[in-house]
């Protein structure tokens, strides 16, 4: 295994999905995930894309994100909405509970560590 990972998705078949019905707040979002890294020990990296909609999220993992395209609004329970757009980078820490609202189809790089 090489120690440098390029997030190249051309050879990766995307996983397609949608938020679980009980988490859905509004819209009919669908998502695709190109998981380029899965080390089998709880580290994942790749590209994620979602169409507009809003759903509840609850994080037990650490995730670094960099928005490549689109606009999303993350709102932590009891917090203020944070608008994220192309060029923004952020970390979601374990214990984050709230909503993810995709306003414009959003594409992001991600690195997750359980």
| Pairing between β-strand 43-50 and β-strand 82-85 as defined by DSSP bridges | unpaired
Q: Is residue 2 part of a domain?
A: no
Average pLDDT, the chain: 97
Q: Is residue 88 part of a domain?
A: yes
Split into its structural domains, the chain has a count of: 1
Q: Is residue 20 part of a domain?
A: no
Q: 109 lies in which domain range? A: 29-113
Q: Is residue 11 part of a domain?
A: no
Q: Is residue 22 part of a domain?
A: no
Rounded to whole angstroms, the Cα distance separating 29 from 67 reads 17
Q: Is residue 15 part of a domain?
A: no
Q: Using alpha carbons, select from 65, 48, 34, 46 the residue that is nearest to residue 5.
A: 46
| pLDDT band per the 50, 70, 90 thresholds, residue 1 | low
| pLDDT band per the 50, 70, 90 thresholds, residue 5 | very high
Compute the average pLDDT of residues 45-60: 98
Q: Specify the CATH number for the domain of residue 86.
A: 2.60.120.10
Question: In this predicted structure, what is the pLDDT of residue 72?
Answer: 98
Report DSSP letters for 37-53, one per residue. EE-SSSEEEEEEEE-SE
Residue 16 pairs with which residues in a beta bridge? 32
Compute the average pLDDT of residues 47-72: 98
């Amino acid at each position: 295994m090489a120690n440098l990972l390029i997030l190249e998705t051309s050879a990766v078949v995307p996983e397609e999905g949608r938020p679980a019905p009980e988490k859905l707040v509004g819209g009919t979002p669908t998502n695709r995930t190109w998981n380029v890294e899965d080390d089998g020990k709880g580290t994942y990296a790749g590209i994620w894309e979602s169409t507009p909609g809003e759903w509840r999220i609850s994080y037990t993992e650490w995730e670094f994100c960099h928005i490549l395209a689109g606009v999303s609004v993350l709102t932590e329970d009891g917090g203020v909405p944070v608008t994220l757009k192309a060029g923004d980078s952020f970390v979601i820490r374990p214990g984050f509970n709230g909503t993810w609202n995709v306003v414009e189809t959003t594409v992001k790089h991600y690195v997750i560590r359980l």
